[in-house]
Every structure is written in structure tokens, then in C-alpha cells.
Amino acid sequence: SYVLTQPPSVSVAPGQTARITCGGNNIGSKSVHWYQQKPGQAPVLVVYDDSDRPSGIPERFSGSNSGNTATLTISRVEAGDEADYYCQVWDSSSDQGVFGTGTKVTVL
Amino acid sequence: EVQLVESGGGLVKPGGSLRLSCAASGFTFSSYSMNWVRQAPGKGLEWVSSISSSSSYIYYADSVKGRFTISRDNAKNSLYLQMNSLRAEDTAVYYCARGMTTYFDYWGQGTLVTVSS
């Protein structure tokens, strides 16, 4: 089955840039989506199709995808961005959804 | 406003069964695929199952194949998950989520399923 690997944690100071990676075999050939989940809440879609943002999501959230790594970038990080972030793809070879292992973003 | 409200969770013994429901509103339910995603306590997200808008295509995670059955009733704007032969490792919050091509754009608040003797 397809595996997506994320760093367990990322720490960033307010106003700086956080980059969260999502590694997978030839992930650049797939569409990657990102979700933010705050404690006790349901996940929220923040980036879809590698780099598109749903309405209401700040431009500070951006995504890229190439080769074996997809990246979610959060610019000008705010305290409210502290959350768990998950990448996700649809594995068409097995017809199954796949989530990354998740990354906890801590704002220092 | 899109709303997804799950229900049916609770405490069940190993080997038991439970049926989850998800009531949808605020969009044309029959036009969208629907999904179940779960999250064990303190763990990450795990996709469980997907069903196409007309129920023509149904997919399951290997971990639940043969034990869980996804279904929908478009006339009632409802999604279901029949869970049989439940195991301790099925303990999780179960979310229903609306499907868009290959991602999930709206999520419910989840319902907790606890499998324990």
C-alpha cells in the first residue's frame, strides 16, 4: 500500500515560515491535499490539488508538489496556526485514500 | 451551509455490531461521493471507506474490508456505516466527509465508537 511520511513535529516562531513535508514514492504524479486539525475539532481542508486553497483559507497557506516530496508552507505564522497537519492522496492503484502520518506544528 | 452530523456511536463489546449514520444538509447530497474517516485516540487520520454518488463504486480500507459496509440513501440525504465483528482497534472517532474528486472538503464533528469488554 502507498505510504506518506511526515515529520512528527515542526516548531516555528511567530511571523516566520513553517514548511511541512510529505514524502511518498513519486508523489509528484499524484494530487496532494492538506488538512489542519486543532485539538478536539474535525479536520479542515486548507490546500487541495497540490496548491489550491478553498475559500476562506488565508493566502499564507500554500502548497507545492514535485518528485517524491510535497510541501505545505505556512507564511507569517500566527499562534492560531498551531495544529496537526495531514497530507492526503488517493491511491488509484488500490482505490484507497491515504493520509500522511501527521505533523504537529508548534508556535514558539 | 454544508452540514454533516454523525450519530450512532457508543460502547460495544468485541465481536459486536454498530451502525453509524451521517445526516447531510446544505448541498445536493445525491451529487457527491461520501466517505468515512476515523481517528483512534491520540492517533492520526485513517481513511475507512468511500461511496460514489449513485452507490456504483464502493471502496474500503484493507483494515475493515469484509467487516464494514458503507451505504447511502439519497432520498434521505443520509450516509451509513454498518460495522460488524468489531475489534478493540476499531475504537476511534468516526467522521463522515464529503468527497470531491480525490479529497474531502467538508467534515462532520465525528462520533466516538469504543470497542471494549
pLDDT at B37: 98
pLDDT, tens digit, for every residue of B54-92?
999 999 999 999 999 999 999 999 999 999 999 999 999
pLDDT at A43: 98
Give the pLDDT mean for A13-38: 98
Q: Which residues of A touch B (CB under 8 A)?
A: 1, 31, 33, 35, 37, 41-45, 48-49, 54, 84, 86, 88-90, 95-102
pLDDT, tens digit, for every residue of B96-117?
999 998 999 999 999 999 999 9
pLDDT at B26: 98
Q: Do B104 and A45 touch (CB under 8 A)?
A: yes
A14 vs chain B: nearest CA distance in angstroms? 25
pLDDT, tens digit, for every residue of B15-50?
999 999 999 999 999 999 999 999 999 999 999 999
Share of chain A above pLDDT 70, in %: 100
DSSP-derived 3-state class of residue B117 = coil
Q: What is the DSSP letter of A48?
A: B
Share of chain A above pLDDT 90, in %: 99
What's the mean pLDDT when you consider all of chain A?
97
pLDDT at B16: 98
Q: How confident is the model at residue A98 (pLDDT cuts 50, 70, 90)?
A: very high
B98 by Cβ neighbours in 10 Å (0-12 / 13-18 / 19+) ranks as buried
pLDDT, tens digit, for every residue of A60-85?
999 999 999 999 999 999 999 999 99
A97 by Cβ neighbours in 10 Å (0-12 / 13-18 / 19+) ranks as buried
pLDDT at A8: 98
pLDDT, tens digit, for every residue of A35-66?
999 999 999 999 999 999 999 999 999 999 99
Phi, psi (degrees; rounded to nearest 5) at A70: -110, 150
In angstroms, the CA B81 to CA B101 distance is 21
Q: Do B110 and A42 touch (CB under 8 A)?
A: yes
Q: How confident is the model at residue B53 (pLDDT cuts 50, 70, 90)?
A: very high
In angstroms, the CA A45 to CA A36 distance is 6
Cβ-contact A27, A68 below 8 angstroms: yes
CA dihedral A22, A23, A24, A29 (to 10 degrees): 70
